[in-house]
Structure 1
Amino acid sequence: MEQCALYNVIHSLKTNDDGSAAFNIGFMVFNETNVETGARVIQALTPLTTTGKDALKAFIKKLDQNQSPAPTSYALAMHEAGLYFSQESPFSGQRVGVLPYDRDAFNGGKYALPFGSDCGKNYIIMIANGPPQGDQIKNEVMQAMLAASGGSTAPITYPAGSVDPKDAANWTDEYARFLNGNLRSSSATSALATTFAIAVTGAASDKASYPTIFKGIANAGGGDFFEAKNSLTLEIALGNIFSQLQAQNSVFSSASLPVSVNSRGTYLNQVFMGMFRPDGDSNPRWRGNLKQYQFGYDAINDSLFLADSSAKPQSAINTATGFISPTAISFWTETSTFWSNQEMGTPPNPSDSPDGEVVEKGGAAQQIRTAYATSQSARKIYTCLSCANNTKLASSSTAQFSTANSSSMATIAADSTERDLIIGWVRGTDNAGDEKGPGAPTTIRPSVHGDVLHSRPAVVNYGTAEAPNIVVFYGANDGLLRAVNGNKTGTGAGQELWGFVPEEHFGKLKRLRDNSPEVRISTTTINAADPKPPLLKDYFVDGSISVYQKVDSTGKSVKVYLYFTMRRGGRFLYALDVTDPADPKYLWRRSHTEADFAKLGQTWSEPRVAKLKGAVGTDGKIQPKFVLVMGGGYDAAAEDLATPGTTTMGNAVFVLDAFDGTLIKRFDTTRSVPADVGLMDSDLDGYTDRAYAVDTGGNIYRIDFETSSSTDKSVWDIYKLAELGGGAQRKFFFAPDVVPTPSFTAILVGSGDREKPLMKVSSDAFFTVYDDRMEKGTPAPGSPITTLGKVGTTENMDAGCYINLASGEKVVNAATTFRGVTYFGTHNPNPPPDKPKLTCTADLGTAKSYAAPLFCRTPYSEELKGGGLPPSPVAGFVEITYTPEGSSESVTTQKDFIIGAPNTKKSAIETGKSTGALSTPRKRRYWYQENAR
Structure 2
Amino acid sequence: MLNKVTRSLLTVPGAAVLALLSAALPAVADDTEIYQAEYEGGSTGARPKVLIAFDDSGSMSTQVEQQRPAYDSSASYATSVSADRIYWSTDGSVPSANSSNWFSASQNRCASSYDDLDDNGRFTVERGRRWVDSTVQQGQCTRECPDGSFEYYGRCYEQTTISEPVEKLVYVGNDSNNRCGNDLTYVNPNGSDDACYEVVASSNPVSGWVYRQNSGRNGRCPRGTTYLQVDPPGRNNDYDACFELVTEPEFTTTTDWVDVGQPTQVCEDDTVVPGTWQSLSSNAHTPTHVECRDDVSNGITDNGSGQGAGYPQNNVASGNEYGPGVDDSVDWGNGAYTFFTSHYMNWYHDDSLVETKSRLEIAQEVITTIIDTNPGIDFGLLEFNYDSGGRIARRIIANMTETQRAELMNLVDMTDHAGSTPMCESMYEAYRYIAGLGVVYGNDAQSGSDSRGTYDVLPKDPLAESNGTYISPNTDCAYTYIILMTDGEPQRDTDANQRIKTLTGKDCQIYDSADSGGRTENCLPQLTEYMATTDLDNDDSNGDQYGITYTIGFATDQELLSDAAANGKGEYYTANNAQELTAAFQGAIVGILSRATTFTSPAVAVDTFTRTQSRDEVFYAMFKPDDTVDWIGNIKKLKLNADAVLVDAASNPALDPDTGVIKDTARTFWSAAADGTNVDQGGVGQLLAERDPGTRTIYSNTGNNGTFELFNTTNFDAAALGLTDDLFYNVLGASTQAAASRQINWARGYDAYDTDGDSNTSESRGWILGDILHSQPLVLNYGARGSFTTSAPDLRLLVGSNSGFVHLFGNDNGVEDWAFFPKELAGILPLRRRNALSNNHVYGMDLTPVAYTYDSNNDGTLDSGAGDKVWAYLGMRRGGRAYYALDLSNPDSPSFMWRIDNNSTGFGELGQTWSEPVVTIIPGYTDNNGVRKPVLVFGAGYDTNKDDSGVGTADSQGRGL
How does the TM-score come out when normalised to structure 1? 0.50
- With CA pairs under 8 Å and 6+ residues apart, which has the higher RCO, 1 or 2? 2
How does the TM-score come out when normalised to structure 2? 0.49
